[in-house]
Amino acid sequence: MHTLIRDDGTLPYGYHHAPVGELNFLDFDLKTAFGIRRSTLYKRVKFNRFNFVGFMADEFMAGVAVVDLGLIKNGFAYHFDRKTGVLTETSVLTPFKATIRPTPDTPMSRINTSSLALTISETGVDCRTDTFSLKAEFTAPHPAPLRVSSRTGYRGWTYTDKRSPVSVRGTLSVNGTTTEIASPHVLALTDWSAGYMRRNTFWSWASSAAVLADGRPFGMNLAAGVNETGFTENMIWIDGAPVHIGPVHFDYRDNDTTTPWRITSMDGIIDLTFTPEGHREEKVNALVMGSLFTQLCGSFTGTVTPPGADPVPVTNAPGFCEDHFARW
C-alpha cells in the first residue's frame, strides 16, 4: 500500500488529488521545537484521529463519530428530529474498544461498548444504540474528495479528507419506528481527520450536503482554526465540481452559539447565514486533557459565487456548525 510519510520521515504538504494510502504516522520524524527526536511511544500517544459522518434530510439530521486521542477514545451518535426538536444521543468514553485505521480513503473506524456499537467504513455506516439505529450504504463514490495536509504548530501537521454530498441508502430506527432512507432525499457527508495537533486547539466548522433549487447537488466544508498554514480545507462542490475557498470568517456569539451565525470568505465566494435548530454539546475536563464541544444542526441561506460565475442561491440547505476547543 502507498504511504503518505516519505522515506526520510517528512510529509508532502498540500492538496492530494489521488488516494494517499496509509498515514504511516509512526514513520514521521517528529521532534521537539528544539530538535530532540520524539519516541515511538510519544508519537503513538499524541497522534489524534477522528472519523465523522453526518446525515441530513428535511425531517431529521444525525451524526456519528469515532474519536481516538491516544490515551482515551470517544464515540457518539445522535438523531435530531427537525419537526419536534427532540435530540436523542449516546456518547461514551473508553480507554479501549475503539480503533481508527489510518487509511482515510478506505476507512475502518469502530467503537464497541454496551451502549454504542458503531462501524464506519468505505462502504457505509452501521450504528446501534439503546434508542436508535442507523444502517446506511454509500451508494456512489465521491467524484472529487478534498484531501489536504498542512503544517500545524512548529513541528506538527494535520491531514483531512472531506466529502460532500455522499449518496446513501439504508434504514433508520428511532424508538422502535423504522423508516427507509435514500438519496437524494437523505444525503450524507464524511470527515476523516488526523495529525499531531497543537496542544491547545480550536476550530469553527461548517458543512452541508443538499440539493439546490435548480436540482444540482451541493456540498460544503468550511473551517477556521486548523489547516490554514499555506492551504485551507475550505471547499464547495456544485454538481460534483470542486471550488477551493480562501480563508473564512465565522461571526457568532461564543457565549450563545444557538443564535444565527454569519459565514463569509475573504475571496467573496461565501456569504451565508446559518440558523441553528438544535445542538449537542460535551464538556470534559480531565486534568491534562479537556474538550469544549458544541455541534449544531440547522440550515444555511445566502449565496455562493464561484469565480467567473453568477451567484448561486442557497436556501435552507441543511447542515452543521461546530465550535470546539480541545486541550490534547
Would you say the C-alpha torsion 300, 305, 306, 312 has a positive or negative sign? positive
For position 310, what pLDDT does the model report?
96
The cell 427507509 sits on which residue? 180
For position 283, what pLDDT does the model report?
80
pTM of structure: 0.96
HEC per residue, the chain: CCECCCCCCCCCCEECCCCCCECCHHHCCCECCCCCECCHHHHHHHCEEEEEEEEECCCEEEEEEEEECCCCEEEEEEEEECCCCCEEEEEEEECCCEEECCCCCCCEEEEECCCEEEEEECCEEEEEECCEEEEEEECCCCCCCEEEEEEECCCEEEEEEEEEEEEEEEEEEECCEEEEEEEEEEEEEEEEEEEECCCEEEEEEEEEEEECCCCCEEEEEEEECCCCCCCCCCEEEECCEEEECCCEEEECCCCCCCCCEEEEECCCCEEEEEEEEEEEEEEEEECCEEEEEEEEEEEEEEEECCCCCCCEEEEEEEEEEEEEEEEC
pLDDT in tens, the chain (328 residues): 799 999 999 999 999 999 999 999 999 999 999 999 999 999 999 999 999 999 999 999 999 999 998 888 999 999 999 999 999 999 998 888 899 999 999 999 999 999 999 999 999 999 999 999 999 999 999 999 999 999 999 999 999 999 999 999 999 999 889 999 999 999 999 999 999 999 888 999 999 999 999 999 999 999 999 888 889 999 999 999 999 999 999 999 988 999 999 999 999 999 999 999 999 988 877 767 778 889 999 999 999 999 999 999 999 999 999 999 888 8
Q: Which residues contact 159 (CB under 8 A, 6 or more apart)?
A: 4, 20, 23, 104, 147, 148, 149, 193, 194, 195
